[in-house]
Structure 1
Amino acid sequence: MVAFVGRAHQLAALDALLADVGPAGDDPRPGQCLLIRGRRRIGKSSLVEAFVDRAAVPSVFFTAAGASTEIELEAFTEAIRSSTLPERSVFDDATPGNWSAALRQLAGVLPDDRPSVVVIDEVPYLVERVDAFEGILQRAWDRELSRKPVLLVLIGSDLSMMEALGSYGRPFHQRGKEMVLGPLNPAEVGEMLQLAPAEAFDAAMVTGGLPLICADWRPGAGLWQFLSAELANPVSPLLVSAERSLAAEFPDSAMGRTVLSAIGSGERTFTNIARAAGGISHSTLTRAAQQLVDKRIVAADLPISTTPSKDRRYRVTDPYLRFWLTFVAPRLAEIERLRGDITLERIRVGWTAWRGRAIEPLLRESLARLLPDGVLPSAPAIGSYWTRSNSVEIDIVGADREPVAKHLLFVGSIKWLENSAFDNHDLVALQRHRSALSDEPIPLVAISRSGISTSGLDASYGPADLLGAWHS
């Protein structure tokens, strides 16, 4: 099951929760609840389906679709009727008239003498469409469901709403444990696709670690082989996954899509984004940008230094979405005409420049996972530094906190080119930029795809070092 390469920890966590579900009578509240959140198409539903299949206990799996309250209730009832719950036939004889009755009736058919699993997928749809659904769910859990030996799994793709569901002051606060499901990490992508470390990072950038896209990558194939095949297929996951995700994220917000497209095309500053988005007003852009940040689609970064800065820079957080917005979205008509070969050539031309900047957040995260290593200390914050004019740009800044640090721990440069090592010229530039940031002899570090050909660095790392940081 290729979709679950690297999901061993999550499956083990689900197994452990199910093992904690005790028989009714031994504990006044033998049930367990888990809230799973993660971006769309990350494999949340597939993960839970795999867990349910191998758990081999009575279960029901319901997926909301964003329909009306009545239609969703009917679909929920039908899901129970076709489930493996032993007393499901009760729903044939008595159809609940509302969600409170449906959840109460569900609790009544759950077994008392053995564990069961109830999965409600896309919970945010129900929160949006069903009046007072959070309160209905809370009462059903407190009064009936939690008293049964059941594992209740609530899944959602709207990250901010799923976070809010279990937050202080909301009805379901502290009633469930939480799991955040991310994409396959670079090491998992490399293992799944049988790629060397540098190529694994390339694959992680293009696929975003989305299992559905990775599954189309023939193990051992190179980047350009993969792209050639995907761009020749107008319905390949690489082409359609982003559009489907965005359609679900922004069903009624054209401005959010417009601003996201401007950021995805490479614009980073507020002024340039406004211009690329058609000259929209300051207030309109502020609202749209905040929506994107709240949804975790965009990050609004500030430079790390010992002095405050308001020079915020925006970036798309998901590398696959960033790749798609840059290279695929503007050329969809061309690809649909079966001229993906032209698109592929454009990607070849722009690849090195795009990857050089797009990969920086992933490499900084890799370094954060790697440290401390006996040379550099662990850094609570690893980011970057820039001036408004971009006269000084430092790829890596490690500090005790962000964005305004008390102590800078190290600074560094990233050079991610196939045939060019980090050399004396790069070292001199890094030293010059360090002096613009601080008078202190802060340790210098380099990350290079093709090795180091200079001395004077305190630490250096290559693809294998950084990929190793992701192995658990």
Structure 2
Amino acid sequence: MNKVIRSPIAEFVIVHGRRRIGKTEMLIRAVKEGMYFVGRQESPKDQLKRFSMKLSGVLNDDMIGKYGLKSWDEALDHIASHGNLTIVFDEFPYMVESDPSIPSTFQEWWDHRLSRTRVKLIFCGSSMSMMEQYLFNRKAALYGRRTKQLKMEPMSFIQAEEFFPRLKFEEMIKIYGATGGTPAYLTEFRNGFNEGIMNFFEKSELLYSDAMYILREEVREPRYYHSILEAIAAGASTFPEIMNRTGLGREVTSKYLAILRDLNIIVRKTPVTKKGSSRKGIYEIWDNYFRFWFKFVFPNEDLIETGRKDLLKKLLEREYPAYLGKVVEGIITPLLIDRYPEYRIGRWWFKDKEIDIVGVDETSSRMFACEVKWKRSPANYRDVENLMEKAAFIEKTKGFRKEFMIISRNGFTPAASRLIDEYNITGWSMEDLEVMFEAYSGKVKSK
């Protein structure tokens, strides 16, 4: 964003991303000497009046503040005349809802005057569907005007760790498993995991209410999207399974799954050995916040309504460690990609067999198979043996040099350790994982 602001030419920038992701904070920090304006659901007159007061201060022109701007044409004329001004229009869709003529007015001024200045116009919005309607749709008046586009994504685990620099590694994994990399959710855990996690079960708290709020803001039929997410959380992963469980038609299911993917709430995965599109694809809830919400909040509304926090705590103690296994898979994958840059890395499955992370390098005929055992007890002999047995079924890897890795939250039984030593398998404990991440984090931050 700093590069945009220093640009010697006019810039028409679109910043988008889901709510709570930190767009506003980033823009406020970046545009210290420009103008920051937030759209509201208000009358066109009130909106223009607020903009007049803001612009008056930035341009040091008391007349604008005193008499006000009569139209957006007049406002954009002042901006064009200044010639070198940075303005952020946050929640731009609300501005358009208030005054539908804004896109065509901005289009005309950009095409004929503003694009020839050094003005920087930055448009930001949280509603992905509305940003699509007003800025990305081919029929939109402002379509094709953008010079740059920034989609803000959730933070990685390493970035999220910076919120809690003194926190223990396992505690950070537990927090990330419930929040993902969304800053607003991470801050709910400023007093630690045990206190923060219970906010999911308080109806007045953000962590409880935001899942449904986001769906209502983003989509027209939130109940159908809710049904799809509920189905996936309950174990339906293939397209037919989701369709059958929700009772939705093929076209509707396909459309809603595509939108949930665009919102970065779900992801479609195929076995790592299948190149390109594959009918073997499965759907998962990718966003940790939504995954936690549909796993632990929605199915337990009765306990939340009756205030049974004692039972909710016991439920988390019993089921959360196993839930975190998939979270750790997501955390460890970037590290493995860094270690094995030539490998194609992802999950593998075939019929009833599945391996958490598999890497394949066909050029050198090498592969690795890695599993995460995030449970209270140590990984046992059968856990290690089972990994090697399943790896034998990975297609197109006959004769490959195979490497095995197993990550265990609570170490390994003596029998498992002997098997690991016998077959030169890599066994990582929680402590090993923490050391690896410290090294990887330092490498990432130094880039």
2-side partners of 1:102 and 1:346: how far apart?
Answer: 60
1-side partners of 2:304 and 2:237: how far apart?
Answer: 27
| TM-score normalised per structure 1 | 0.77
Contact 1:166 1:174 in 2 (8 A): no
Q: Name 1:269's counterpart in structure 2.
A: 238
Of residues 137, 145, 150 in structure 1, which corresponds to 2:114?
145
Of residues 380, 383, 392 in structure 2, which corresponds to 1:426?
383
Q: Does 1:289 align with 2:232?
A: no
Q: Does 1:335 align with 2:307?
A: no
| TM-score normalised per structure 2 | 0.80
Of residues 270, 273, 290 in structure 2, which corresponds to 1:302?
270
Q: Name 2:314's counterpart in structure 1.
A: 345
1-side partners of 2:212 and 2:318: how far apart?
Answer: 24
Shift of the 38–406 alpha-carbon distance from structure 1 to 2, 3 Å rule, reads farther
1-side partners of 2:145 and 2:404: how far apart?
Answer: 43
Q: Does 1:439 align with 2:398?
A: yes
* 1:237 shift after superposition: 2.4
Deviations 1:93-146 (A, max 9, x none): 36445x5x266345246x44xx53211123455678876865544433343334
Q: Does 1:323 align with 2:299?
A: no
RMSD over aligned CA atoms reads 3.5
* 1:449 shift after superposition: 4.3
Shift of the 19–234 alpha-carbon distance from structure 1 to 2, 3 Å rule, reads same
Shift of the 398–137 alpha-carbon distance from structure 1 to 2, 3 Å rule, reads farther
Deviations 1:64-102 (A, max 9, x none): 54x7xxx357425523424532237437536445x5x26
2-side partners of 1:107 and 1:449: how far apart?
Answer: 60
2-side partners of 1:407 and 1:150: how far apart?
Answer: 52
Q: Name 2:64's counterpart in structure 1.
A: 90
Contact 2:175 2:189 in 1 (8 A): no
Deviations 1:135-191 (A, max 9, x none): 544433343334444332221335577589469998543732222322232223323
Of residues 157, 160, 176 in structure 1, which corresponds to 2:147?
176
Contact 2:366 2:400 in 1 (8 A): no
Any residues of structure 2 matched to 1:54-73 within 5 Å, and which?
55=32, 57-65=33-41, 71=43
Q: Give the share of equivalent positions with the same residue, in percent.
A: 22
Residue 170 of structure 2 aligns with an amino acid whose one-letter code is: A
Q: Does 1:448 align with 2:418?
A: no
Of residues 382, 393, 396 in structure 1, which corresponds to 2:345?
382
Mark the runs of 5 or more structure 2 residues left unpaired by the alignment: none
Deviations 1:193-225 (A, max 9, x none): 232223222211111222222222235x3x334
Contact 2:328 2:372 in 1 (8 A): no
Contact 2:37 2:89 in 1 (8 A): yes
Q: Does 1:397 align with 2:352?
A: no
Any residues of structure 2 matched to 1:356-375 within 5 Å, and which?
356-368=325-337, 371-372=338-339
2-side partners of 1:362 and 1:162: how far apart?
Answer: 30
2-side partners of 1:355 and 1:76: how far apart?
Answer: 49
Question: 2:284 is paired with a residue of what secondary structure?
Answer: strand
Q: Does 1:17 align with 2:4?
A: yes
1-side partners of 2:358 and 2:145: how far apart?
Answer: 37
Any residues of structure 2 matched to 1:159-238 within 5 Å, and which?
159=128, 165=135, 172-173=143-144, 175-193=146-164, 194-218=166-190, 221=192, 223-228=193-198, 230-231=199-200, 233-238=202-207
Residue 331 of structure 1 aligns with an amino acid whose one-letter code is: N
Aligned residues: 423
1-side partners of 2:62 and 2:299: how far apart?
Answer: 50
Of residues 241, 256, 265 in structure 1, which corresponds to 2:210?
241
2-side partners of 1:137 and 1:408: how far apart?
Answer: 57
Deviations 1:424-443 (A, max 9, x none): 43332222222211313243
Mark the runs of 5 or more structure 1 residues left unpaired by the alignment: 1-13, 23-29
* 1:258 shift after superposition: 1.6
Shift of the 180–460 alpha-carbon distance from structure 1 to 2, 3 Å rule, reads farther
2-side partners of 1:123 and 1:366: how far apart?
Answer: 38
Q: Does 1:48 align with 2:27?
A: yes
Q: Does 1:118 align with 2:87?
A: yes
1-side partners of 2:189 and 2:366: how far apart?
Answer: 39
Q: Name 1:27's counterpart in structure 2.
A: none
